Amino acid sequence: MIVSDFTVPELNLFRDKCNFVGNERQVFELRSQGVPLEEIAELLNMSVAGIKKISTKINKKINKVK
Protein backbone atom coordinates (compact mmCIF):
# COMPACT_ATOMS: atom_id res chain seq x y z
CA MET A 1 0.00 0.00 0.00
CA ILE A 2 1.38 3.42 -0.91
CA VAL A 3 0.29 5.80 1.83
CA SER A 4 1.47 8.87 -0.08
CA ASP A 5 -1.15 8.12 -2.77
CA PHE A 6 -4.04 8.84 -0.38
CA THR A 7 -5.75 12.23 -0.48
CA VAL A 8 -5.48 14.69 2.42
CA PRO A 9 -9.05 13.94 3.60
CA GLU A 10 -8.26 10.21 3.57
CA LEU A 11 -5.03 10.76 5.51
CA ASN A 12 -6.91 12.86 8.07
CA LEU A 13 -9.51 10.10 8.43
CA PHE A 14 -6.78 7.54 9.09
CA ARG A 15 -5.07 9.84 11.60
CA ASP A 16 -8.37 10.21 13.43
CA LYS A 17 -9.73 6.65 13.24
CA CYS A 18 -6.75 4.26 13.18
CA ASN A 19 -5.45 4.77 16.73
CA PHE A 20 -1.80 4.81 15.73
CA VAL A 21 0.38 4.24 18.80
CA GLY A 22 4.07 4.60 19.51
CA ASN A 23 6.18 4.72 16.38
CA GLU A 24 3.18 3.97 14.17
CA ARG A 25 2.25 7.66 14.05
CA GLN A 26 5.79 8.71 13.06
CA VAL A 27 6.05 6.02 10.41
CA PHE A 28 2.59 6.88 9.06
CA GLU A 29 3.48 10.57 8.76
CA LEU A 30 6.76 9.83 7.01
CA ARG A 31 5.11 7.34 4.65
CA SER A 32 2.42 9.90 3.82
CA GLN A 33 5.25 12.17 2.66
CA GLY A 34 6.66 9.43 0.42
CA VAL A 35 9.74 8.67 2.52
CA PRO A 36 11.08 5.16 1.72
CA LEU A 37 11.09 2.55 4.49
CA GLU A 38 14.89 2.37 4.47
CA GLU A 39 15.15 6.11 5.10
CA ILE A 40 12.51 5.92 7.84
CA ALA A 41 14.60 3.20 9.51
CA GLU A 42 17.62 5.51 9.48
CA LEU A 43 15.65 8.51 10.75
CA LEU A 44 14.13 6.54 13.63
CA ASN A 45 17.33 4.60 14.34
CA MET A 46 15.59 1.27 13.80
CA SER A 47 16.13 -1.74 11.57
CA VAL A 48 14.36 -1.97 8.23
CA ALA A 49 12.71 -5.18 9.48
CA GLY A 50 11.32 -3.30 12.48
CA ILE A 51 9.94 -0.54 10.27
CA LYS A 52 8.36 -3.14 7.97
CA LYS A 53 6.57 -4.68 10.99
CA ILE A 54 5.24 -1.27 12.00
CA SER A 55 4.26 -0.58 8.40
CA THR A 56 2.32 -3.85 8.27
CA LYS A 57 0.41 -2.89 11.43
CA ILE A 58 -0.38 0.50 9.89
CA ASN A 59 -1.65 -1.15 6.70
CA LYS A 60 -3.92 -3.47 8.70
CA LYS A 61 -5.41 -0.55 10.62
CA ILE A 62 -5.95 1.43 7.40
CA ASN A 63 -7.68 -1.56 5.78
CA LYS A 64 -10.02 -1.89 8.77
CA VAL A 65 -11.01 1.77 8.47
CA LYS A 66 -11.43 1.62 4.68
**CATH number of the domain bearing residue 58:** 1.10.10
Number of domains in the chain: 1
What does residue 36 show for φ and ψ, rounded to 5 degrees? -65, 155
Q: What is the C-alpha separation between 23 and 31, in angstroms, rounded?
A: 12
Segment 12-51, tens digit of pLDDT = 999 999 999 999 999 999 999 999 999 999 999 999 999 9
**What domain range is 15 assigned to?**
3-65
Residue 66 pLDDT exceeds 90:
no
